[in-house]
Amino acid sequence: MGVDDVPLDDKAKRMRDLLSSFYSPDPAMSSSNSSKFASLDAINTTSFDADQYMNLLVQKSNLEGLLQKHVEMAAEIKNLDTDLQMLVYENYNKFISATDTIKRMNNNIVGMEANMEQLLEKIMSVQSRSDGVNTSLFEKREHIEKLHRTRNLLRKVQFIYDLPARLGKCIKSEAYADAVRFYTGAMPIFKAYGDSSFQDCKRASEEAMGTVIKNLQGKLFSDAESIQARAEAAVLLKQLDFPVDSLKAKLFEKLEQSLEDLQLKTEEITNVLEDSSDPINLATTNDASIREFVEAIRAYRVIFPDSEKQLIKLSQDLIAKHFEITEQYIKEQISVAKFLGVLRIIWRDVLLMDEVLNEAFLPDYSLGAAQVVVKQYVANTFSHLLRDISDALTVNIHMKVEELPLQIALETSKNAVLKGSMDVLVDFRHFLDDNLGFLLKLRDSIVDWVQEGFQDFFMALDKQFLLLSGRNKSVSQEQGLTEGMMVDKVLAGLVLVLAQLSVFIEQTAIPKITEEIATSFSGGGVRSFENGPAFVPGEICRIFRSAGEKFLHHYITMRTQRVSVLLKKRFKAPNWVKHKEPREVHMFVDLFLQELEAIGAEVKQLLPEGGLRKHRRSESNGSTTSSRSNPLRDDRMTRTNTQRARSQLLETHLAKLFKQKVEIFTKTEFTQESVVTTIVKLCLKSLQEFVRLQTFNRSGFQQNQLDIQFLRSPLKETVEDEAAIDFLLDEVIKQEPDSRSFGLLLEVHQRFYFSLIYMKIVREGDLGLTSLSFMHSFLGRQEFKIFMASFDIFWQAMMDMCLLMEQVIVGTSERCLDPIPLEPPILDKLIQAKLAKKREQNAITS
């Protein structure tokens, strides 16, 4: 099968090769092409060996194959013959047609030469004629051209001679643009011939131009002219090579001057502002001037388009100046309305200027400046507030005329703190509510500033308090010396005022301010979140709580220190071992009582009365304290059991009386009672300590006994309604006839007296009486238990004090070589004598 295919292919290929070799100029190509077929059956190659082919064929093929080959070859040969014949015939045909074409061409060329000669002749004749015309017209044309030139020249000369007049005309009609055009047209001629032929003419026109320039300048500088006209004037001047820069500078100077005028006006405005409370008024005056300025800037920009930089600087200067003035201005304490008014004016100016000078980014610029000013304003407001408060504190205290200076100081300073802060907040609310451009942008910052401001303000207030109280010796070491001196001058009362004020700030002012801030100053958020909100009321509260406690403690310390000095003098000075027999109560008792009275007076002015039931003992002191719980709660029993309850109650109190340890060091509270008791207890404890350091002889001991006894009794004397007390005490005694021994009841009696006396110290008269009647009515109707419970605080304080006094006497006896107490009658006599003396003194003074 394959054998069949190959010869068929071979045949076609051979045909193609043969044909191409025929036409191809390079036989080597075709031979090389077909060389690969130069095998046995490559008939078409030049190296074809017919014999070899035959041999091969005969050897390879059988008869049938040979026969087939034969037939194939024969057919092939016949085909080739026909192909050759066809080719020869076609070539012959082409030859015949080429011969025909050549024959036709030959016929057409004949007769062409004659026509060409004819044409040449005609062209020659045309040329000769045109030459003739040309020569005949040449002279005339020359003449005409000359005449035309002359005429042009003459016209120019005429124009130049006319120029002055024309310029004059232009000036008259104010057609400066034409004048300038004419003049610049004539300029080259003047330049070339100005010195010779057209001298007069030039001078005249220059004169005219002078006026033109002058007029133009006038026009440029006159504000009455329209900006367009002025701009044109500037352009014309520039065309005339007039030194425009100097003009520009001049104009700029003018602008600056107007700016200065404006600033002057602003200053006036601020002055006016201080006098008149009407910011609108000033706004109008300022308005006009700023508008003028804006117009001027607009004109200037149109006239000198390349002058932005200077203008920007100028306007920024103006704004800076504005803010500078404002800064100066807010150093004084001004109301927020006025401040806002000023800001508003500035903002309006800025907007106006922004319209003409968009490139200056004036709003941004002024935003920066406003930020500074507003911040400063906020800071200033707070410092004013701080000053107000400290003024309120100090001024009032040093005014001795007032009846209750401390109370007034406290009230005014409370007011100053609360109202001041509220006013500040309201003021700053205005900032936020105002829709002024930059205030809107500054809103967040303002919120932060206000919060920060409050935080810093309260910190500063705390420091200021410390400074006022003279306690910050260690706060600033450099000031150590001066502070040390101040300490003596600081009034104890002021410290108490500070203590109370701190409590007020912590409990009242801060919550209110926090609330206010929360409602209108929340947000902010310019500050980073890590720092948290700027105003931390919790922290401030904590600071003031501890400050309040510190001040109260400090007050107590100051007061007890004075008593300590008194006691120290008393106990250090005499030789107690050689003391003489007591003749009268020592005067230190008087001084001590005076001190207590002074304290009572101060405390009464400032501190609230203690809610009787509010009293809580601190848990920090002594295990014995905790075991004693509220007796009221312990025995909730029916009315039938009241007797037993009463006796139990009394028992606990009495048991406490004889307890060794005195709970004198309880937490002091912000009440009159608490403070006074603490001071009294501390002083008595000091007395005890002083006594322990001495050694007494019998008389020394008796003297002390007398003094302490007197400390108890004059207090009793000051209670006015003795009968009522006696009645009361009788009641008390009657209530417990069966279960208590008389001695114990007497003890109660004595202590109870003292509690009343103490109340008398604290409350000075009327209140004491009120309490007495209150107690009286109670005792009339209700149980003794309730009375005891409600007077728990007094009771305890009294018992503490009595115990302390007893301890003083015990301490004295311990330190006495020969402790024999004074006989009661003598004691009584001496005390009565002292009382009488005192009454006498009171009578004299009153």
Q: Which residues bind another protein (CB under 8 A)?
A: 473-474, 477, 480-481, 484, 557, 560-561, 564, 572, 577, 620-623, 660-661, 664-665, 682, 685-686, 689, 692, 695, 814-817
Rounded to whole angstroms, the Cα distance separating 650 from 744 reads: 10
Q: Smallest gap, in angstroms, from Cβ of residue 539 to another protein?
A: 12
Sign of the dihedral defined by the CA atoms of residues 335, 340, 341, 346, in that order: positive
d(CA 221, CA 241) in angstroms, rounded, equals: 18
Q: 571 or 752, CB closer to another protein? A: 571
Minimum CB distance to another protein, residue 574 (Å):
14
Amino acid at 450: V
Rounded Cα gap, residues 254 and 247, in angstroms: 10
Q: Among residues 451 and 560, whose Cβ is nearest to another protein?
A: 560
Element (H, E) at 102: helix 63-109
Tokens found for residue 539: 């922290």
- Distance (Å, whole) CA 257 – CA 289: 12
Nearest residue (CB) to another protein, 362 versus 676: 676
Nearer to another protein, 389 or 664 (CB): 664
Q: What is the closest distance, in whole angstroms, from the C-beta atom of residue 492 to another protein in the complex?
A: 13
User: Which C-beta is closer to another protein: that of 564 or that of 739?
Assistant: 564
Strand partners, 696: 816
Minimum separation from the CB atom of position 478 to another protein (A)? 9
Angle at 745 between CA 740 and CA 751, to 5 degrees: 145
Label residue 797 exposed, middle or buried (CB < 10 Å: 0-12, 13-18, 19+): buried
Question: Phi and psi for 494 in degrees, rounded to 5?
Answer: -60, -40
Compute the least distance from the CB of residue 815 to another protein, in Å.
6
Distance in Å, CB of 779 to another protein, minimum: 35
Asked if 687 and 638 touch (Cβ cutoff 8 Å), the reply is no
Give the nearer residue to another protein in terms of CB position, either 156 or 661. 661
Question: What is the chain's length?
Answer: 846
Which lies closer to another protein via its Cβ, residue 396 or residue 674? 674
Q: Which is nearer to another protein, 619 or 730 (CB)?
A: 619
* C-beta of 155 vs 572, nearer to another protein: 572
Q: What is the CA radius of gyration of the chain?
A: 64
Q: Residue 696 has what DSSP assignment?
A: B
* Residue 682 near residue 805, CB atoms below 8 Å: no
Distance in angstroms (rounded) separating the CA atoms of residues 606 and 601? 9
Q: Which is nearer to another protein, 663 or 707 (CB)?
A: 663
Structure-token match 């109670």, residue found:
778
Asked if residues 458 and 389 have their Cβ atoms less than 8 Å apart, the reply is no
| Pick 579 or 760: Cβ nearer another protein | 579
For residues 534 and 443, the answer to whether their CB atoms sit within 8 Å is: no
Q: Which is nearer to another protein, 617 or 776 (CB)?
A: 617
* Residue 507 DSSP one-character state: I
Taking the complex as a whole, the smallest distance from the CB of residue 451 to another protein amounts, in Å, to 23
Distance CA 221, CA 251 (A): 7
Q: How far is the CB of 688 from another protein (least distance, A)?
A: 8
As a whole number of angstroms, the distance between CA 790 and CA 795 comes to 9
Q: Where are the beta strands (DSSP E) in 338-488?
A: none
Calpha distance 527→714 (Å, rounded): 64
Nearest distance in Å: CB 696, another protein: 9
Rounded least distance, CB 662 to another protein, Å: 9
Residue 10 to residues 3, 29, 44, 87: CA-CA distances in angstroms?
A: 11, 18, 10, 22
Nearer to another protein, 559 or 785 (CB): 559
Both tokens of 597, joined, read: 């009275």
CA distance 137 to 217: 58
Q: Using CA atoms, how far apart are residues 800 and 296, in angstroms rounded to an integer?
A: 88
Q: Which of 338, 473 has the CB closer to another protein?
A: 473
CB 622 to another protein: min, Å: 6
Q: What is the nearest approach in angstroms of another protein to the Cβ of residue 660? A: 5
* Partners of residue 816 on adjacent β-strands: 696
Closer to another protein by Cβ: residue 42 or 466: 466
Q: Which is nearer to another protein, 421 or 686 (CB)?
A: 686
Q: Are 345 and 318 in contact (CB under 8 A)?
A: no
Identify the three-state secondary structure at position 399.
Answer: coil
At closest approach, how far in Å is the CB of 708 from another protein?
A: 18
At closest approach, how far in Å is the CB of 661 from another protein? 5
CA distance linking residue 308 with residue 357, whole number of Å: 8
Burial class (CB in 10 A: 0-12, 13-18, 19+), 69: middle
* 702: nearest Cα among 801, 809, 778, 777: 809
Q: Which is nearer to another protein, 347 or 576 (CB)?
A: 576
> How far, in Å, CA of 175 to CA of 169, rounded?
8
Q: Coil, helix or strand for 335? A: coil
Q: In angstroms, what is the minimal distance from the CB of 365 to another protein?
A: 44
| Contact indicator for 724, 776 with CB cutoff of 8 Å | yes
- Least distance in Å: CB of 621 to another protein? 7
Contact 671, 504 (CB under 8 A): no
- Whole-angstrom Cα distance, residue 764 to residue 758? 10
CB closer to another protein, 358 vs 575: 575
Phi, psi of 816 (to 5 degrees): -110, 135
Closest approach, Cβ 776 to another protein, in A, equals: 36
Q: Is the dihedral of CA 372, 374, 375, 376 positive or negative?
A: positive
In whole angstroms, the minimum distance from the beta carbon of 557 to another protein comes to 5
